[in-house]
Amino acid sequence: MRVIAGPEKKTRVISEKERLVTAYHEMGHAMVGHYLEHSDPVHKISVISRGQALGYTISLPQEDRFLTTRAELNDTMAMTLGGRAAEDIVFGEITTGASNDLEKVTQTAKQMVMRFGMSEKLGPRVFGHDRGLPFLGRQFSSEPDYSDEIAHEIDDEIRRIVEGAHQEAKDILTEHRASLEKISQILVKRETIEKEEFEALLGGKSEDEVFPPEEPSGPELPLPPHPADRPGRDAPRPLPRPGLAGGATEARGPDAPEKPELA
């Protein structure tokens, strides 16, 4: 987890309002990803701050993939925009927390249009030559090989793809808003929800069923016996025996025969 999301920020103080917004944001990612067919399964949701993020949602593929379909890219973008959609639906406002999400989906949509030929309007074409220098981190040439008219169509297609993914995320969260409200409140309290717990809550189980009370660790030690219940209370007490060196004692019970005293 440290490698994926960065070190845990234990000293970072977050207000209750920001914590609540973060919980709905992360739950928006998780629920949209859960209900989409081609997105990766959700493994963990948390509002514990790590790295630069106030919270995180981890989704991992079930198998290694070397090819990605257009449907998978669309569902991934919708899941990525699920956090922003949740903020808009619940609070009627959006925050700066989705800036990285917007950057990701814009880049994905741009590649779909300009590199992968996945635009129905522009067809199977590649726009612009990759003349950048990889070792300098450049990917796209600054000199396009297409007209201004095509540039406007590319912008329109990128906008259409991104807005379509955002609308799909909003539709899913609006349909399942009751679950969004319920599980987000649980996330605020529990801080972290694992995959099995998340699926059980979506399946209709209550918080008490998913998170049973913790049993005390280790066996319970017995209490020491009360002095009145200790064995041997009525046993004969040792009495001093005169005439023996060193203060030796002899047991004298109520039924013990008396011995003559020594002169």
226, part of any domain: no
Give the per-residue pLDDT at 84: 97
Per the model's pLDDT, the better-predicted residue between 217 and 128 turns out to be 128
Residue span of the structural domain in which 94 resides: 2-128+146-210
- Count of domains in the chain? 1
Calculate the alpha carbon distances from 161 to 109, 128, 157, 165, 251 in Å. 6, 20, 6, 6, 100
254, part of any domain: no
26 is catalytic: yes
Per the model's pLDDT, the better-predicted residue between 59 and 215 turns out to be 59
Of the candidates 26, 87, 168, 197, the residue annotated as catalytic is: 26
- Is the confidence at residue 192, as pLDDT, over 80? yes
Please state, in angstroms and rounded to a whole number, the distance separating the CA atoms of residues 108 and 75: 11
- Cα 97–184–198 angle (5° rounding)? 110
CATH number of the domain at 118, please: 1.20.58.760
Please state, in angstroms and rounded to a whole number, the distance separating the CA atoms of residues 253 and 258: 10
Give the per-residue pLDDT at 249: 45
Residues 6 or more apart from 20 whose CB is under 8 A from it?
184, 188
Read off the pLDDT band of 64 (50, 70, 90).
confident
Give the per-residue pLDDT at 2: 45
192, part of any domain: yes
243, part of any domain: no
Per the prediction, the chain carries an average pLDDT of 82
Q: What percent of the chain has pLDDT over 90?
A: 60
- Is the confidence at residue 235, as pLDDT, over 70? no
- Is the confidence at residue 210, as pLDDT, over 50? yes
